[in-house]
Structure 1
Amino acid sequence: MAHALLRRTAIPIRRRPHRRLEFSVPESALSDVALWDGTCSLGAGRITWDGDSITAVEAEDSGANPRYGVIPGLIDTHVHLGGYAGPGEQPWGSPWNLVTPDTEKVFHIAAQAQRAMRAGVTTVRDLAGDALQLAVSRVFDDGVQIGPRVRVNGPVGMTAGHGDLFIPPHYPHRDPVADSPDECRKLVRQWARQGAHGIKIYASGGVLSMGDRVGWRNQTMDEIRTTVDEAHALGMLVAAHSHDTESARRALEAGVDSIEHGSGVDASLWPVVTQRGIPVAPTLLINDRLADGTIPVAGEAREKAQAVVAERDANFAGAAAAGVRFVLGTDANGVMVRFGDQHEEVRLMADMFGWSAERALVSATSDAADAIGMGDRVGRLAAGLGADFVVVDGRPWEDISHLDVDRIVAVVSRGRVVSGELPR
C-alpha cells in the first residue's frame, strides 16, 4: 500500500534541455591597418566583426601608411594532431601513442590545434584522424573550448600499407584497414557515419612507415576507384598520399581531389593536374629535415627521405612554372614540424617555386581554403565570412620575410583575440 501511494504521489523529475555553450563576443573593429584580403592588397582601411562573422572590410583613401598589416588566418591542409603535446619531447618511434589512453590523447590533440591557432594557423585539416580528432573538432565548433577550425579526413588503407606500418605487427590494437573494394566502400561509410569531413587514401608507400618502400603500390585500382566513388557519393573530398609518379597517376585516374606530398608529379602529369586544378601539398620542410638529419630517424627512413627530396627537387620548380596548384600543407605533427612552423614552410615555398610574396600568401590562405572545400567560410577577408585573421608587424604580401611568428601582433580566431593584443 505504501509503495502504491509513493508511486501515485511521486514528483516527476524535470530535466533541463541541453543548451549549447555560447560565448558572447561584442562587435569589434580595427582601424588604421593595411589590409590584404586573401588575394590582393586593399591599402589602408578598417575591418569590423560581430562574433564569428566579419561585418565589413573597408578601404580608406587617407594616404596613411600603417605599420600593421592584417591577413586572413593561415590554413594548413595537411597536419597530424595526434602527437605528444606535453613538456619536453617524445622522440619519433617512442611508445607514447601505443600506451596512452584515448581519454588522455584527446587533450594533446586539442593542445596541438590551439598551438597552431595561436601561431596564426586558424584552420587545419588532419589527414588520417579518427574519433578523437572529430571530438575535438566538435568541441571547438560548439564553443565548449576555444580552438581553431579542425577538419578531419578518415583513412582508408590496406593491410601492410603505409598507414598500417606505424604499429608493430604484434601489437593487438590496430586501426581499421580495407582489403577489397567492398571493404573500402564500407570503411568510407563508417567514416561518414562518424562525421568525417573527408577521406585519405594511400596510393604509395611512405618515408616513416616501418619496413615500407616509397614505390610500393598501395591498394588496387578497383579499391581506389571504389573509395573515391563512395566518398564523392557522400559529399567528401579525397586526399591521396603519393610519393612517386605511378601512384600519382593512378590517384588522378581514380578522380582524387588532392595530392599529398606529390614528389613524383613530373612533367607527364602537369597537364592533368593543371587542367583539373588539383591542389598539391608539397610538405617541403619535413622532408628536408628528414633527409639532412635535422630530425633523428633510423637510417632506412633517412635514405627514403633523401630519395624523395631528390625526386621532388627535379620536378617541383618545373611544376610551379607550369602552373601546378601548390597549397600550404606541412605534415606538421608537433614533433618533426611544429605548429607554428607553417610560416617557415610558406617562405620555403616562395623560394623553391620562385613565387612573389603575394603568390605564396595566396597558397596559404584563399587557395588553401578552396582546396579543402571551405572557401565560402575562411581564407579571405570579406563581409559574411568567418572572423579569422592575423595582425602582423609588416606587410607579408610585399615581403614574405614578414610572415614570421615573431612578427605576429595578434591572432583573431572565430572573432576572439586568442593571442597577443589588437593594436590601439
Structure 2
Amino acid sequence: MVAVLRIRGFALPEGEPVDLYADGDRWTSDPVAGAELVAEGWILPGLVDAHTHPGAETPGQPLDVAVLREDLRAHLDSGVTLIRAPGLAGDPPEWFGQADESPRAVHAGPWIAQHGQFMEGWGRRPELTDLPAVAAEQAARTGWAKVVIDWRPDDDVVPVGVLREAVTRVHAVGGRLAVHSQHAAGGMAAVEAGVDSVEHGMGLNPDLLPRMAEQGIALTPTLSVITASLAAITADPERARSSWYVPGASAHARLTAAAVEAGVTVLAGTDSRPHGGIAHEIRALVAAGVSPHEALAAASWTARSYLGLPGLVDGAPADAVVFDVDPRTDLSQLDKPRAVIVRGKAIR
C-alpha cells in the first residue's frame, strides 16, 4: 500500500494555515489515518516555468530523449512542477509531462516560422496561406501552437490578417496561440490579432499594455536571459553601439514592471540552459521592480491558473513546493526547497 503524504503550514498566496493530504494525485483536507508528514513550512502550489525548451543542448539539434530526461529532472529539483514548452525540437515521447521523472507539461510542438527566419533545423515553415491551418492542427493535438512572428530587424512580420486567422482557427479547436516577438512591429501585430501570449515581448510599445490586460493577453518576458544577453553585448562597447538588441533589452525590465502594474498576466519563463533556473527569473522580476509577491505569482499560482490548474485546495492536483521561510521575505529560499511534491509523490 502506498503511503499517503501530508504537508502542513502556510499556503500562498493568502498565507492561510493548511493541512493537506495527497489522495492519489489530488489534495484533500480530510485527515487520512497513518499519513506521513513529509514537510511543513511555507507552501506554494508548485513552481512553474512557462517558457522552456527542454530536450536539445544547442539550437537546431533534434530532440534527444536522454537530454530531455536530464532537463526535466533539473526542473523538478528546482521545485518546478509544471512547465510550458512553447516550442520543442521535435514531438516528445508519450511520457512527457506524465511520468514521475517529468513535471506536468503543456507544449506547442515544433515552432512555426516563416521561410528564412528562426533557428535552422528547428520548426516548420509553411507558406503564409497555410500558416493558420498548420497552427490549428498543432493546437488540436497539444492545446498550444507557437508562431515566430518576427526575427531579425529587417525581416517581414507575419501579417496581422494571417495572424488573426490563426488565432480564430486555433481558438475554434479549443487551443491557444503563443507568439515569439522581439520587435515593436511584431508586438503590435500580436496585440492587434488577439493572440493568447506574447513570448519575450522585447520592443513592445508600453502603450499596448492596458489593451493586453483587457484582452487577457499574457506576457512571458524571459527577463533573466535577456538581461544576461544585454550584459554580454554591452561588455564590448563597439558591439553595443551597432547592436539592434540593446535598445529593446535596455528597456525590458521597465516594460515588465509596467506590465504587472497595468494588470497584464505576466508569466515567469527561463528560455535558457541549464534548466532549473526559475529562481533566477523570479529574482530578475524583483530586480526590475516587481514585488516579491507578484514575482512569485508569475512563477506559481498565477501561472498555474493561466495554464488551467488550481492551487492548494481540495481536489487540486497534488503538487507543492515547501520552504522553511516565506520566500517573499527571503528569495534565497528558492534555492533550497525543503520538499518538492508532484502527483502526490515526494521527489525531494
Is the structural similarity TM-score above 0.5? yes
- The alpha-carbon distance between structure 1 residues 159 and 269, as it changes in their structure 2 partners (threshold 3 A), is same
1:171-186 mapped onto 2 (5 Å cutoff): 175-181=123-129, 183-186=130-133
Residues 202, 240 of structure 1: 8 Å contact kept: yes
CA shift for structure 1 position 365: 1.2
- RMSD across aligned C-alpha pairs, in angstroms? 2.8
Instruction: Give the AA of the match of 1:387.
Output: A
The whole-number CA distance in structure 2 between the counterparts of 1:389 and 1:217 is 43
- Quote the offset at 1:142 in angstroms: 5.1
Shift of 1:286: 0.6
* Structure 1 residue 350, shift from structure 2 partner: 1.9
Task: Give 2:46's aligned amino acid.
Answer: G
Distance 1:260 1:127 in 2: 9
Distance 2:4 2:317 in 1: 13
- Number of residue pairs matched by the alignment: 337
> What is the letter of the counterpart of residue 36 of structure 1?
A
Spell out the pairing of 1:87-236 with structure 2 (5 A cutoff).
97-98=60-61, 105-129=64-88, 131-133=90-92, 135=93, 138-140=94-96, 143=99, 145-154=100-109, 155-162=111-118, 166-167=119-120, 175-181=123-129, 183-192=130-139, 195-205=141-151, 213-214=152-153, 216-236=155-175
Question: Which SS does the other structure have where 1:318 is aligned?
Answer: helix
- Partner of residue 281 from structure 1, selected from 208, 215, 220: 220
Q: 2:135·2:170 contact (CA, 8 Å) conserved in 1?
A: yes
What amino acid is aligned across from residue 375 of structure 1 in structure 2? L
Q: CA separation of 1:185/1:247 partners in 2, compared to 1, >3 Å: closer, same or farther? A: closer
Shift in Å, 1:131:
4.4
Distance 1:313 1:345, change over 3 A: closer
Residue 204 of structure 1 contacts residue 215 of structure 1 at CA under 8 Å; is this kept in 2? no
User: How far 1:216 moved relative to its partner?
Assistant: 3.0
Give the alignment partner of residue 396 of structure 1, picking from 318, 324, 327.
327
Alignment correspondent of 1:306 = 246
Query: Could you tell me which residue of structure 1 aligns to residue 318 of structure 2?
Result: 387
The separation in 2 between residues aligned to 1:304 and 1:402, in whole angstroms, is 34
Partner residue in 1 for 2:306 = 371
User: Could you tell me how far apart the structure 2 residues matched to 1:130 and 1:216 are?
Assistant: 23
Whole-angstrom CA distance in 1 between matches of 2:136 and 2:192: 22
Q: How far is 1:391 from its partner?
A: 1.5
Change (3 A) 1:294 1:285: farther
Q: Deviations over 1:321-364 (max 9, x none)?
A: 333332212213x2xxx222111211221221341x22221121
How far apart in 2 are the matches of 1:82 and 1:296?
A: 30
Residue among 46, 68, 83 paired with 1:73: 46
Q: Is the 8 A contact 2:145 2:177 kept in 1?
A: yes
Deviation at 1:218, TM superposition (A): 2.8
C-alpha distance in structure 1 between counterparts of 2:27 and 2:221, whole Å? 31
Aligned to 2:7: 30
**Kept in 2: contact 1:347–1:400 (CA 8 A):** no
What TM-score comes out, normalization by structure 1 length?
A: 0.72
Matched-pair contact (CA < 8 Å) for 2:223–2:253: no
Structure 1 174/121 Cα, relative in aligned 2: closer, same or farther at 3 Å?
A: closer
Q: Quote the offset at 1:128 in angstroms.
A: 1.1
CA contact (8 A) 2:259 2:266 kept: no
Output the amino acid matched with 2:170.
Answer: A
Query: Runs ≥4 in structure 1, deviation > 6 angstroms?
Result: 294-297
Q: 3-state DSSP class of the match of 2:83?
A: strand
Percent of aligned positions with the same letter in both sequences?
23
Structure 1 Cα separation of the partners of residues 245 and 2 of structure 2: 46
- Taking structure 1 as reference, are residues 192 and 243 closer, same or farther at Cα in structure 2, changes over 3 Å only? closer
Which stretches in structure 2 are left out of the alignment for 5+ residues? 32-38
Which digits, 9 at most, give the CA deviation of each residue in 1:259-280, with x for residues without a partner? 1111223332122012223211
- Cα contact 1:281–1:327 (8 A) shared by 2: yes
Cα deviation, residue 180, structure 1: 2.3
1:37-92 deviations in Å (ceiling 9; x for gaps) = 4x21114x42211221111289xxxxxxx9832211111111111223xxxxxxx5
Kindly provide the amino acid, as one letter, of the partner of residue 75 in structure 1.
Answer: V
Q: Output the TM-score relative to the length of structure 2.
A: 0.86
Q: Which residue number in structure 2 is paired with residue 83 of structure 1?
A: 56
Q: Note closer, same or farther for the CA distance 1:328–1:313 as it changes in structure 2 (3 Å cut).
A: closer
Q: Secondary structure at the match of 1:269?
A: helix
SS of match in other structure, 2:88: coil
In structure 2, do the counterparts of structure 1 residues 186 and 36 end up closer, same or farther at CA, with 3 Å as the change threshold? same
The structure-2 alpha-carbon separation of the partners of 1:418 and 1:224, relative to structure 1 and needing over 3 Å to count, comes to: same
Deviation at 1:390, TM superposition (A): 0.8
Indicate how the Cα distance of structure 1 residues 266 and 220 shifts in structure 2: closer, same or farther if over 3 A, else same: closer
Residues 106/267 of structure 1: CA separation in 2 closer, same or farther (3 Å cut): same
Checking the alignment, whether the CA contact within 8 Å between 2:150 and 2:182 is kept in structure 1 is yes
Judge conservation of contact 2:56–2:89 (CA < 8 Å) in 1: no
Rate the CA distance shift 1:311–1:113 in 2: closer, same or farther, 3 A. same
Distance 1:186 1:288, change over 3 A: same
Can you give the 5+ residue segments of structure 1 that lack an aligned partner in the other structure? 1-23, 59-65, 85-91, 168-172, 206-212, 420-424
Partner of residue 19, structure 1? none
Equivalent residue number for residue 414 of structure 1: 343
Which whole-Å CA distance do the structure 2 matches of 1:152 and 1:121 have between them?
A: 15
